[in-house]
Amino acid sequence: MPEFSRPALILASSSRYRRELLERLRIPFSTAVPALDETPQAGETPEATALRLAEAKARAVAATLPANAGRTLVIGSDQVATFDGRQIGKPGTHERALEQLRSMRGREVLFHSALSLLDTATGHADTVDVVTTVRFRDLPDAALDAYLRAETPYDCAGSAKSEGLGIVLLEAIDSDDPTALIGLPLIALTRMLLAARYPLLETRA
């Protein structure tokens, strides 16, 4: 498939982490911020929340495209962390982050990283949930506080960046997709893109 026939690709996210991950694939894309209420619905499981929001983000951005935009693939993604049966959001502050890390030390946390690829030509969205199990080390308060001050991960669910210094807080990570925990499962995404006949490794002759 020649370069000029590539469909447009849009990442429906404001996350710099997802943008940086997608840049690894060395393919052209743009970003758009979906206008969406991300509040979990009553009685909704963490997996259902992540899946619903991933697809909803893609559809919200697709709905803003002009009628003559042509075939476009829109990537939506959402991550929900769960611990003791409850959802864990982004802490926002140092105090909340420290509280999160204290409660999770020595314990396992599940991260649901949902991914959706919407093809505007068909209206179909391929959506999947990639689950990552993370076991936190049992570290003292002083170590947790030092980490938070060093990396300030207040915009990350779980209050730790596994791709950075936060790896020190983790005992083990179990996942089929190593980038899922950072926010965008690239193995799942490349599988979806190839299924949509998007050229990932082809160059113009």
Note the pLDDT tens digit of each residue in 112-135: 999 999 999 999 999 999 999 999
Report residue 39's pLDDT band, with 50, 70 and 90 as the boundaries. confident
**DSSP 8-state secondary structure symbol assigned to residue 67:** T
Return the H-helix or E-strand segment holding 46: helix 46-62
Q: 3-195 domain in CATH 3.30.230.10?
A: no
SS3 121: coil
Catalytic residue, candidates 78, 119, 126, 129: 78
Q: Is the dihedral of CA 141, 79, 45, 175 positive or negative?
A: negative
Q: State yes or no: is 78 an active-site residue.
A: yes
Note the pLDDT tens digit of each residue in 64-87: 999 888 999 999 999 999 988 788
Q: Which residue has the tokens 């802490």?
A: 91
For the whole model, what pTM was predicted?
0.88
DSSP string, 79-98: EEEEETTEEE----SHHHHH
